[in-house]
Amino acid sequence: MSSFRKIAPPVHSVEKIDFIEPIHQLLPGGTSFFTLYGGTQEVVKLDFSFKAGNWYEQSKLESIMAASMIAEGTSGKSAREIADRIDFYGAQLSTVPYYDNNYVSLLALKKHLPHLLPLLAEIMQDASFPENEFEIARQKRKQRALVDAEKVGLVAQRNFMRNLMGEGHPYAPVASPDAYDEVTLEGAKSHYIRHYCSANATLFASGDVDGDVQKLIVQNFGTNWGTPYPFKKDQIQVASSAEKNIFIERDNANQNAVTIGKRVPTQHHPDSAGLKLLTTIFGGYFGSRLMSNLREEKGLTYGIHASVVSFVRDAIFMIHAEVTAEKTEEAIREIFFEMKRLQEELVPESELEPLRSFLLGRMLEDFDGPFARSQSFSSLYEADLEVGYFDKIIHTIKTTTPEQIRELARTYFDPESMYMVAAGKK
């Protein structure tokens, strides 16, 4: 047989993503139900999204504690019985709180869904919030928060968010682990009652979601359950601190952490796609400007990263690095030096071409398989973006010129507009 191992496979440029839009139906109880069928394995993933994140809290931490308690007991089953049933069928159940939405997800073999979907419906619709389980969950989260409070990286990032958004903003983390002493069982359960209902839910079903599976879903989740609660207004006043530069001392730190950034336009803004391209050049992958300078050339850090973090109602440009204490000021100078370079110099095509390939390849990863496609679609849906947004991103990656990149840097990389928090030893 002839060997073709020395012949490289053909390379094809990504022109567009042929994204098959999911089938959508509105269940009688008001739940939006999206089906993304695909894959070769008899596995199904159900992702329920509720408008129940930090944004909708009446008091801090209610959203997190409500999510923690969903699977900790119902009126007919204990937390142990629920966990044993999930384990018996080899399934995975997760309840994840986030800034805008909270999620309840189930991953299971299709053949076990007749046993698991009634249990999942019971968990979401009849969570009992037993007091002993609440206390265990609260103490676990407080202990984790106490441990995190000693990690300079998390200290810098969380204080950065509070400084940028304002202490009371839903996207701002709590100031102290002691906040867990203030959250109550009644507050967490009230949050659950207000926001976990059929009319406030969106279901993304992916994998081997055939007709039989869809019937099971309608049988278990199609009716009206829970009572909708009036939503919080779409916008909340941002109250950024007047002090843009903060240093937080941690004498026992092994190294210092630095977080720098600012608020930027959301994904609906025309500059959003170009800004993400610029951010990747600056610090978004291993070959970025920041990595080449601070890690490869000067050895100031093991890793440094820049990204645009997109929420439903806001977006933040953020740089984060952990450096040796005596090199902190030098690292900060080099970060702003690289910003200035992008404002003054054109990015050469020799740097742009491999970057374009990297970003297009990463986009393909976001659509590799039904579960990845479901996650990509859900992120668009929750941000109220059209599927055509993917093609816009590809077009931006392929066509943005060095001159446009420089103009974006001049618009968004002004050092005077940046907030900065450092934590560690002085």
Non-local CB neighbours of 332 within 8 Å, separated by 6+ positions: 258, 260, 420, 422
Q: β-strand 43-50 against 92-96: which pairing, if any?
A: unpaired
Q: Is the pTM of this model over 0.85?
A: yes
Pull the structure tokens for residue 368.
């590799």
Give Cα 269 distance to the centre of its chain.
19
Walk across the sheet containing 92-96 and list its strands: 23-26, 32-37, 201-207, 43-50, 102-109, 92-96
Q: What is the pLDDT of residue 361?
A: 86
Q: Answer whether 153's CB lies under 8 Å from 303's CB.
A: no
Higher pLDDT, 198 or 234: 198
The answer to whether the CB of 100 falls within 8 A of the CB of 195 is no
Average pLDDT, the chain: 92
State the residue for tokens 């690095």. 321
CATH topology of domain 245-424: Cytochrome Bc1 Complex; Chain A, domain 1 (3.30.830)
**Quick one: pLDDT at residue 233?**
62
pLDDT at 105: 97
pLDDT confidence band for 13 (50 / 70 / 90): low
Dump pLDDT digits (tens) for 379-395: 999 999 988 888 899 99
pLDDT confidence band for 236 (50 / 70 / 90): confident
Closest CA to 158 of 306, 330, 318: 318
The number of C-alpha atoms within 13 Å of 330 and in the hemisphere containing its C-beta is 13
Helices (H) and strands (E) in the chain, counts: 14, 11
pLDDT score at 11: 56
Band (2; pLDDT cuts 50, 70, 90):
low
Buried b (16+ CB within 10 A) or exposed e, 204-213: bbbbbbeeeb
Q: For CA atoms 226, 228, 229, 234, give the dihedral sign.
A: positive
Q: Picking from 18-27, 232-241, 295-304, 356-365, which range would have the lowest pLDDT averaged per residue?
A: 232-241
In 15-98, which ranges are continuous DSSP H helix? 62-69, 79-88
pLDDT, tens digit, 9 for 90 and up, residues 91-131: 999 999 999 999 999 999 999 999 999 999 999 999 999 99
**pLDDT tens-place string over residues 41-66:** 899 999 999 999 999 999 999 999 99
Does the pLDDT of residue 5 top 70, yes or no? no
Strands, sheet with 256-264, edge to edge from the N-terminal-most edge strand: 245-249, 419-424, 256-264, 315-323, 301-310
| pLDDT given for residue 14 in this prediction | 66
End-to-end alpha carbon distance in the chain: 67
| 240: exposed, middle or buried (Cβ count in 10 Å: 0-12, 13-18, 19+) | middle
pLDDT of residue 194 exceeding 80: yes
Q: Which CATH class is domain 23-221?
A: alpha beta
Residue 202's nearest CA partner among 104, 313, 66 is 104
Going from N- to C-terminal start, the domains of the chain cover: 23-221, 245-424
Which residue's entry shows tokens 């816009």?
392
Contact (CB, 8 A) for 393 and 363: yes
From the list 101, 40, 103, 25, the residue with the least C-alpha distance to 71 is 103
pLDDT surpasses 80 at 235: no
Same fold across 23-221 and 245-424: yes
What are the backbone angles phi and psi of residue 315, rounded to the nearest 5°? Answer: -150, 150
pLDDT tens track for 146-168:
999 999 999 999 999 999 999 88
**Is 2 in a helix, a strand, or coil?**
coil
Do residues 6 and 383 lie in contact, with contact meaning Cβ atoms separated by under 8 Å? no
Examine the pLDDT at 4 and tell me if it is beyond 70.
Answer: no
Residue 251 has pLDDT above 90, yes or no: no
**According to the model, what pLDDT value does residue 167 have?**
87
Of 201, 174, 226, the closest CA to residue 54 belongs to: 174
Count of CB atoms situated within 10 Å of the CB of 324: 17
Tell me what the mean pLDDT of segment 341-360 comes to. Answer: 93
Rounded-to-integer distance, Cα 163 and Cα 172, Å: 8
pLDDT of residue 171: 95
